[in-house]
Amino acid sequence: MHKVYLLIGSNRGEKKILIEKAQERLGLLSVNPVLSSSFYESEPWGFESDEWFLNKAILIETELYPESLLRQILNIETDLGRVRGAQKEGYESREIDIDILLYDNMVIESEILTIPHPRMHLRKFVLEPLMEINPDIIHPVLLISVKDLYLNCPDKSAVRRT
């Protein structure tokens, strides 16, 4: 059984409904009930938009291997309206975004997948909901707890629990 921490976010459309649908679908991949954070609103990170993001972190326990889980996540995103164009620089608004933050204590760097998420330690909107679920989990590369990552995070953008 693999413990996987995910972040679900949206800044387009019916954000809360889309996140709840994504969580429900991800729950089907979990052998135990999903553990989830509250919802958090945050400013767009890395690009300009009038629409703030709504995010939540979840923990699933799955038998899927990382690449198989990624394929399932991409299918869920597509089913919920995410359109991926040609790879381009920067970030943009999206209906749904599901990121694998941590997968057990694994460290993976491949063409299609990087675990732990390479920028999670730089983003308050990731760390705050993750800290609600498990502040003591250790980042497998930085060897620092999520709580300490949050306390030392350079990100000063607004994040608020809803």
Among the listed residues 99, 104, 119, 123, the single catalytic one is 99
Q: Which member of 97, 119, 136, 160 is catalytic? A: 97
Distance of CA 8 to the CA centre of its chain: 5
155 is catalytic: no
94 noted as active-site residue: yes
* Catalytic residue, candidates 94, 119, 148, 160: 94
What Cα–Cα distance (Å) separates residue 71 from each residue in 29, 100, 107, 144? 12, 12, 18, 29
β-sheet bridge partners, residue 79: none
Which residue among 50, 71, 82, 84 is the active-site one?
82
Active site residue 104: no
HSE-up of residue 98 (Cα within 13 Å, Cβ side)? 29
Can the peptide bond before residue 116 be classed as cis, meaning omega within 30 degrees of 0?
A: yes
Tell me phi and psi for residue 157, to 5 degrees: -70, 155
Q: Which residue has the tokens 């996540």?
A: 73
Q: Is the dihedral angle over the CA atoms 74, 80, 83, 87 positive or is it negative?
A: negative
To the query of whether residue 136 is one of the catalytic residues in this protein, the response is: no
Which are the catalytic amino acids? 82, 94, 97, 99
